[in-house]
Structure 1
């Protein structure tokens, strides 16, 4: 069965420095005791600010499923880029099998 059920859940979290905005991708940490009726978590880390998302495999900026710059342009790839991509693919155990 290949099905995906998208479920949404709203979390109220304490952000003492008020550094988050709607759309940020964050990591929350459960509080040992509730701060209020609804607030049970606190901000642990801002993973990505809204509009500043980096693809974990290529390391290139993206918006949704689109890259902001074309990662397949071989003329734009530097030696560091190709090394980084090779290491990531090896780390993820992705290999090409030509049949």
Structure 2
């Protein structure tokens, strides 16, 4: 009985081990792709499509590189931050967690 259990355990172990086998050499999915256009032609097509407004809009990823200009000076913003920090808010805030 023990021999059968050991043999079954070894067989199961061998079967599950092969499920984790990996390919030994990486083959790029586009390895056989041959372009019919030159890089300059692709750039020209992209520039033309952008000028015509027919390019796909990129999805907003939250990484804006252009920031809106504010109407207040740096001194005004700093003064507001100092005033806000000096006002002690009481209410439903637990002072144990906020340095009270």
TM range (shorter): under 0.3
Q: TM-score, length-normalised on structure 1? A: 0.22
Which structure has greater strand proportion? Answer: 1
Select the structure with the greater relative contact order (CA < 8 A; seq sep ≥ 6).
Answer: 1
Structure whose alpha-carbon radius of gyration is higher: 2
Which structure has greater helix proportion? Answer: 2
